[in-house]
């Protein structure tokens, strides 16, 4: 299906954030997936290491992102390129929800610090 209506997007919640998936294999995507992330104030997502490149664009708000231990403050309009094998963490230290747009290739997996793996349903 080439057009995915907002009413057809699927919502998932994990680690205090909401992920609204638009482009997935279930919606007709063959190579890429894309979703909107809603990161509430005070949310601190656990660090995770990704197996695919992930393009993380901040639409609204401010976030603190950590890439392999290096901390960066990003603001609306900034883009973070997370390469495969990089450990990535996101924190919203503000008192407003931040909105992101994320694109990656189908098959994204994330490994948490404890060795557990997450296969996000919105990226597969």
- Closest Cα partner for 92 from 123, 117, 60? 60
In a domain? residue 21: yes
Q: What is the pTM of this model?
A: 0.92
Other residues' Cβ atoms within 10 Å of the Cβ of residue 116: 10
Q: Which CATH number fits the domain that encloses residue 45?
A: 2.60.120.10
Sign of the alpha-carbon torsion through 2, 7, 9, 66: positive
Q: 124 in a domain, yes or no?
A: no
Residue 29 lies in a domain: yes
The mean per-residue pLDDT over the stretch 4-32 comes to 93
Query: How far, CA to CA in Å, does 34 sit from each of 8, 70, 116?
Result: 14, 25, 23
- Averaged pLDDT for residues 79-87: 97
Inside any domain, residue 123? no
What confidence tens digit (pLDDT) does each residue in 34-55 have?
999 999 999 999 999 999 999 9
CB 48 within 8 A of CB 70: no
Contact 76, 57 (CB under 8 A): no
Domain that holds residue 76: 7-116
pLDDT in tens, 2-14: 899 999 999 999 8
């Amino acid at each position: 299906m080439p057009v995915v209506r907002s009413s057809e997007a699927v919502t998932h919640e994990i680690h205090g954030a909401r992920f609204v998936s638009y482009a997935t294999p279930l919606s007709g995507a063959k190579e890429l997936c894309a979703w909107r992330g809603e990161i509430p104030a005070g949310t601190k997502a656990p660090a995770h290491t990704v197996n695919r490149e992930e393009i993380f664009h901040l639409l609204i708000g401010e976030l603190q992102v950590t890439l392999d231990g290096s901390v960066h403050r990003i603001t609306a309009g900034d883009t973070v390129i997370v390469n495969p094998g990089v450990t990535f963490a996101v924190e919203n230290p503000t008192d407003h929800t931040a909105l992101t747009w994320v694109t990656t290739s189908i098959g994204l997996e994330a490994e948490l610090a404890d060795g557990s793996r997450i296969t996000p349903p919105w990226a597969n």
